[in-house]
Every structure is written in C-alpha cells, then in structure tokens.
Amino acid sequence: QVQLQESGPGLVKPSETLSLTCTVSGGSITSDYWSWIRQPPGQGLEWIGYIYDGGSTKYKPSLRSRLTISLDTSKNQFFLNLRSVTAADTAVYYCASWKSGWYGDYWGQGALVTVSS
C-alpha cells in the first residue's frame, strides 16, 4: 500500500517561498502521477498540479507563474515550491498519488502552512 507524508515549515512569511516535501513509501515515483492539493481553513479542495513520467508537470494555470513541482527519484520524494506567497496561500497542503492522472487514490495526512509575518 502506498503511503505519503508531507513535511516542511509550518510558517512562511509573505513574499517568501513555500516549500514542501512529500515522501512516498510502498510505490515508486518514477511511475504514475503525483499531485499536490490544498485546502484553506474551513474551505474546499483545490488541485494545484501534478508531476508524472519521471518529471513532466501540469499546473493549475492561475498558479503556474509561481509554482514548481519537482522530484528526487533517489529519495522517492517529490516537492512543491510556491513563490511570492500571500495570506491567501494559507492552507493544509496534501500530497497524493493520482491514479494514471485521474483520481487521488492515496493521500498524505496533510501539512498546515500559514503565511504570516
């Protein structure tokens, strides 16, 4: 069974970069699709983007100018970098296995990131 775990700073200052790591066990990130999704406090789910085929990416257009998703196959990890953050980027960030680029079959527990000075 695939397991995912998010890690990274819980507090980021406005205008700085939000960086998260997702560590995957029970599956290889060289195959299939791996997504980031976020959920602002008390709100719904927002798909951010995914990485697949060992490094190809697809991003939500409204975030594309600030977003990079990458991976490290040697550590079986993938990463989220979101630049120039504002309070609107405050959310629980989830990483998930995205079956063949379709739906999220395995999810991490989530990491709360607060953007505040």
Residues that bind other proteins (CB under 8 A): 44-47, 49, 58, 60-61, 94, 96, 99, 101-105, 107-110
Pick the closest to residue 36 from 1, 4, 74 (CA basis): 4
In the complex, least distance from residue 107 CB atom to other proteins, rounded to whole angstroms = 4
Separation between Cα atoms, residue 95 and residue 36, nearest integer Å: 5
Positive/negative CA dihedral, 72, 77, 80, 81 = negative
In the complex, least distance from residue 32 CB atom to other proteins, rounded to whole angstroms = 14
In the complex, least distance from residue 58 CB atom to other proteins, rounded to whole angstroms = 5
